[in-house]
Amino acid sequence: MAMVPRSASLLFLAAAACGGDKSAATADAGPKADDPSSRPPASENFTRDILSYGLDIDLANKQAVATITLAGDPDTGLSLEVGNLVIAGVHDDFGELQFIDLGSHMNIGVPAGGETRKLVIDYSFTSHQNFDGWLEDKEVSFMWPAFCGNLYPCISNPAEGATYEMTVTGAQGTAIFPESIPGDAPSYMPAIAVGNFTELALGSTSAGTELSVWHEPGQEISASAGTSNLLAVFEYFETTYGPYSFGSKVGTVSADWGGGDFGGMEHHPFWHVSSGSLDSEEVNAHEAAHGWYGDGVRIACWEDFVLSEGVVTYMAARALSEVGVDLWPDYDCELKAICNGAENTTALLDSCGEIDLINHDLWSNAPYQKGAQYFREVAGLLGEAELDAALSEFYQAHVGGSARMRELVELLKSKGQSQAIEELTVAWLETEACPASASSLCP
């Protein structure tokens, strides 16, 4: 996936720092441009396609090794976000590679050409406090939306996806993390939680996916309550929307985010649910649904947040309705609070790659609840089964890649009622004021 530079000042810094190296390279008659043993100067390129990461993380010493496989490219630049990592060195099979640490990102010189290029970065990381990296006090990682660079050299653009292999050592307890993420995932998805976990097996789906919930001592009742229908929900998602792409063992992990009812985070295949939300069937189903939308199909830009959160808020209600759990009364009241409150906002923006989500009005409950109501009304026009079929078609066309919400809207319009669906799109997603129909909800 391609990435656009997000900061003019970063660009300026990088250009200033790299100019000398580039002229030095020009003067060097050196090896052929596609010689894998060449050692090109570090230079900026935010658009390289990362195919996979191997992350070997030592929690005791806060040291790690990232093995990065890149798609081959005629350009020798690679830029990665590195937060406050301390980079010890970069090498490949032929020896050390040149790099420059520019603070928030690093530039590397990668030999050009080839089908792929593999490089290894040795580094150390630090503990974070503000849900922005490895939260040592809470023994849990948190990198959404754009803090991956505080744990590993990365590209946080949500359109960028890669596979992962992980090892975690030095944990003071049981570490839950994915040894392998076989489908392309966004940068914030790989995660670690350490605790005194008990695994409660929930069973296997007809596709053979094993589900569990991992809880801390004293959480047996809330863990069982929140996941009592999770196997049926996951089965519904697999059979209705298409095969799951992140492995054959999945489940909910109780995350220590401070104890409140803070929802969860879509860290597939072992998604985190805050300990205070562990008993919520809605939160468990919502995070599971992100395996299809948000993670399975990534958003092309943060402006498309509703393609992740609106879809999965609807999917949670859709799947739980099949087992007799009705989320809509709660959703209706959450919507009413949005419509009557000061934090109402437009749920879908036209631009792409221009907003900093967590410092933008869009980071609110509006994309979740307006999005869910939008799909509920589309289902009213097309039928629930027809909407499910369209969500399945879209998932299977885009899984492992990224998409824009407008692409899904156009697919829905192609299924009939085009004018009415466009009117719903404008009313629910592209207008700040809530549609008139919202005022009758949550009496």
Binding site for Zn ion (CB under 5 A): 309
Helix (H, G, I), strand (E, B) or coil at 375: helix
Q: In the complex, what is the shortest distance from the CB of residue 234 to Zn ion, in angstroms, rounded to a whole number? A: 16
Give me the residue label for tokens 């230079």.
Answer: 43
Strands 162-169 and 105-109: unpaired
Residue 29, Cβ neighbours under 10 Å: how many?
Answer: 5
Whose Cβ is closer to Zn ion: residue 238's or residue 309's? 309
Whose Cβ is closer to Zn ion: residue 45's or residue 308's? 308
Q: In the complex, what is the shortest distance from the CB of residue 308 to Zn ion, in angstroms, rounded to a whole number? A: 6
Whose Cβ is closer to Zn ion: residue 40's or residue 371's? 371
Residue number of the CB closest to Zn ion reads: 309
Whose Cβ is closer to Zn ion: residue 309's or residue 377's? 309
Alpha carbons 346 and 331: distance in angstroms, whole number: 18
Whose Cβ is closer to Zn ion: residue 285's or residue 412's? 285
Q: In the complex, what is the shortest distance from the CB of residue 430 to Zn ion, in angstroms, rounded to a whole number? A: 21
Whose Cβ is closer to Zn ion: residue 109's or residue 158's? 158
Could you tell me the sign of the dihedral formed by the alpha carbons of 352, 356, 358, 362, in that order?
negative
Whose Cβ is closer to Zn ion: residue 231's or residue 311's? 311
Identify which of 101, 295, 262 has the alpha carbon closest to the alpha carbon of residue 188.
295
Q: In the complex, what is the shortest distance from the CB of residue 49 to Zn ion, in angstroms, rounded to a whole number? A: 26
Whose Cβ is closer to Zn ion: residue 281's or residue 309's? 309
Q: In the complex, what is the shortest distance from the CB of residue 313 to Zn ion, in angstroms, rounded to a whole number? A: 7
Q: In the complex, what is the shortest distance from the CB of residue 309 to Zn ion, in angstroms, rounded to a whole number? A: 5
Neighbouring-strand partners of residue 105: 81
Contact 255, 308 (CB under 8 A): no
Contact 282, 330 (CB under 8 A): yes
Q: In the complex, what is the shortest distance from the CB of residue 9 to Zn ion, in angstroms, rounded to a whole number? A: 31
Could you tell me the sign of the dihedral formed by the alpha carbons of 301, 304, 305, 308, in that order?
negative
Q: In the complex, what is the shortest distance from the CB of residue 279 to Zn ion, in angstroms, rounded to a whole number? A: 18
Residue 11, Cβ neighbours under 10 Å: how many?
Answer: 14
Q: In what order do the strands lie in the sheet with 264-265?
A: 198-204, 210-215, 249-255, 270-274, 264-265
Q: In the complex, what is the shortest distance from the CB of residue 266 to Zn ion, in angstroms, rounded to a whole number? A: 6
Contact 151, 53 (CB under 8 A): no
Q: Concatenated DSSP letters for 231-282? A: HHHHHHHHHHH---SS-SEEEEEEE-SSSS---EE--TTEEEEEGGGTT-HH
